[in-house]
Amino acid sequence: MRILNVTAQKPDSTGSGVYLAEMVRCEVAVGHSAAVICGIAPDDPLPFPSGVSAYPVHFETDEVPFPVCGMSDEMPYRATRYRDMDHQMVSCFRAAFAKRIERAVEEFCPDVVVCHHLYLLTALVRSMVSDIPVFAICHSTDLRQMRTHCLERDVIIEGIRSLTGVFALHGEQRGEIIDLYGCEPYNVQVLGTGYNSSVFKASSPHSQEEGELSLLYVGKIWEKKGVGCLLDAVDQVQVPGKQLSLCLVGGHNDAAEYQRFTQRAAVCTAAVEFAGRLETHELVRVYQNADIFVLPSFFEGLPLVVVEALACGCRVVVSDLPGIRPWLESHVPDAPVVFVRPPRMRTADDPCPEELGPFSERIACAIGEAAHLAPFEGDMHSLTWEGLTARFVSFVRPFCKG
C-alpha cells in the first residue's frame, strides 16, 4: 500500500509526533510505501527512514511567518496557539498545506491518507481529497482544542464527520468523539497506542538499590501535567528505610513557571534532578534505572510514556483519567500500576485550586503503595508499534482500490 501520513506539527517532538514517526517506520519495514506531510521549523531535520517522501511546510518563513501550530497550548518547542490565530493566519496555514496536499496526492498517488488529530488540517485534507480513503487518529489534545475555543469549529466538525473512518486511543475517547463531532458510531474504531520493543526494554535484572527509591517523570515540565503536585507529593511519601530521588525529564516553555519548580525542588526532602530533554538512548537508561514512574497529569489521551516505563520494568503511578485504567487492565492486566484519583476540574484545562493539596497527598500514598509492588516482567508484545500498524493496515485495506 501507499500510505500518506499527515500532521500539522513537528513529527517527532510530542507523543502524537512519535506516534506518527513510529507508524511510518513500521509501514516501511513491512514493505509499504510511505510519505509524510508535516509542519516544521526552518532548520528541523526530518526523522524518517530512507525512501520516505516528505512534503514539509516550513513555518517561520515568508510562506508561513509564524511558529509551528501546536495542538497543546504549551508545547516543548516554540509554537503558535490555535486560539491566537486570526483569519489571515488561518488562510496562510491553509494555503501552505493545500500546496503540499495537492503535490503529495499528485506525485505520491496514495492508496490511503491517515491524518493525526481531528482538527483543522484534517478537515482541509478531507475537503481536498474526495476519491481516496481518508482516516484520522485522535490524540486527545484535539478534543481539548474543540472544547476550549471556537476556531473554525463548524468547518472542522463537518470535515471530521465526512472522514472514511476515525481511530480513538481507547473506548472512552471513542464515545467523546461520537458526541463532540457527531460521527456515526460504526465509523469510530479503537486503535490504542504502542511502543518500540527493540528500544524500550528492561535491563537484566531490574533491581532496586538497597536503601534508595528512584522516581521518574517524563513529559513537559508543566503545571498542567501535575509537576507542581508531584514536587509537593515527594515531601509526603512515607517509605521507611528508603531515600527518595526524583528525575524530571522533558522540556519547558514557561520560564517563570520553570523557575518556580526549580525553587520548589531546591527545598524538597528528596534529591530532585531536572534532566531536560534526552535522546532516546539516554531516556531508556533513566527508565531502566528508575523504580517508579509517576505521571500525575490533569488530562491525557493514552500516554505512551506509561507503556514505555512498563516495558523498561518500572512500577507506575498514574492519574486515573478516562480510558487509561480499562485499556491498561485489558492489555497488561498484571502490570504494577497504581491509579490516583485526579483533581476535580473547573475547566477542560484547569483544576479547582482547593483540589491540588489533596491530590498531592493521594500521589504520595500511591507512590508508597507502588514501592511494595514487584517490578514488571510481563508480556507486552501486543502493544508494539508493529502490532498497532498491522491493525491499522488490516482495517483500512478494504477501503482502498485495487
Domain positions in the chain: 2-194+384-399, 212-380
CATH of 2-194+384-399, one of 3.40.50.2000, 3.40.50.880, 3.40.50.2300, 3.40.109.10: 3.40.50.2000
What's the confidence (pLDDT) of residue 181? Answer: 98
**Of 224, 169, 193, nearest to 342 (Cα)?**
224
Question: Is residue 320 over pLDDT 70?
Answer: yes
Mean pLDDT to the nearest integer, 121-131: 98
Mean pLDDT to the nearest integer, 115-130: 98
Same CATH topology for 2-194+384-399 and 212-380: the answer is: yes
Mean pLDDT to the nearest integer, 238-260: 93
Residue 265 neighbours by CB distance under 10 Å: 18
Place 296 in a pLDDT band, splitting at 50, 70 and 90: very high
The number of angstroms, rounded, from the C-alpha of 396 to the middle of its chain's C-alpha atoms is 23
Q: pTM value?
A: 0.86
Q: CA 274, CA 200: separation in Å to the nearest integer?
A: 21
Question: Is residue 249 over pLDDT 90?
Answer: yes
What's the confidence (pLDDT) of residue 378? Answer: 80
Place 302 in a pLDDT band, splitting at 50, 70 and 90: confident
Q: Are 46 and 58 in contact (CB under 8 A)?
A: no
Question: Is residue 242 over pLDDT 80?
Answer: yes
What's the confidence (pLDDT) of residue 379? Answer: 80
**Grid cell listed for 111:** 492508496
b/e sequence 9-35, b meaning 16+ C-beta within 10 Å: bbbbbbbbbbbbbbbbbbbbeeebbbb
**Grid cell listed for 16:** 502524537
Q: Are 34 and 44 in contact (CB under 8 A)?
A: no
78 to each of 48, 82, 117, 253, 254, how far by Cα in Å? 22, 13, 19, 7, 10
- Which DSSP symbol is given to 345? B
Q: CA 153, CA 13: separation in Å to the nearest integer?
A: 26
Residue percentage of the chain with pLDDT more than 90 = 84
Mean pLDDT to the nearest integer, 143-172: 96
**What are the backbone angles phi and psi of residue 130, rounded to the nearest 5°?**
-110, -20
Place 203 in a pLDDT band, splitting at 50, 70 and 90: confident
Mean pLDDT of the chain: 94
Q: CA 286, CA 288: separation in Å to the nearest integer?
A: 5
What's the confidence (pLDDT) of residue 112? Answer: 98
Q: CA 100, CA 102: separation in Å to the nearest integer?
A: 5
**Grid cell listed for 27:** 509501514
What's the confidence (pLDDT) of residue 402? Answer: 60
What's the confidence (pLDDT) of residue 87? Answer: 97
Question: Is residue 148 over pLDDT 60?
Answer: yes
Place 208 in a pLDDT band, splitting at 50, 70 and 90: low
Question: Is residue 216 over pLDDT 60?
Answer: yes
Place 375 in a pLDDT band, splitting at 50, 70 and 90: confident
Mean pLDDT to the nearest integer, 232-239: 94
Question: Is residue 204 over pLDDT 80?
Answer: no
Question: Residues for the chain: how many in total?
Answer: 402
**Grid cell listed for 297:** 497529569
CATH class of the domain at 212-380? alpha beta
How does pLDDT run across 362-374, given as a tens digit for each residue? Answer: 999 999 999 999 9
Q: Which region among 8-12, 38-42, 66-70, 217-221 has the lowest average model confidence (pLDDT)? A: 8-12
Mean pLDDT to the nearest integer, 316-345: 94
How does pLDDT run across 74-118, given as a tens digit for each residue? Answer: 787 889 999 999 999 999 999 999 999 999 999 999 999 999 999
Q: Which region among 60-74, 86-100, 155-169 has the lowest average model confidence (pLDDT)? A: 60-74
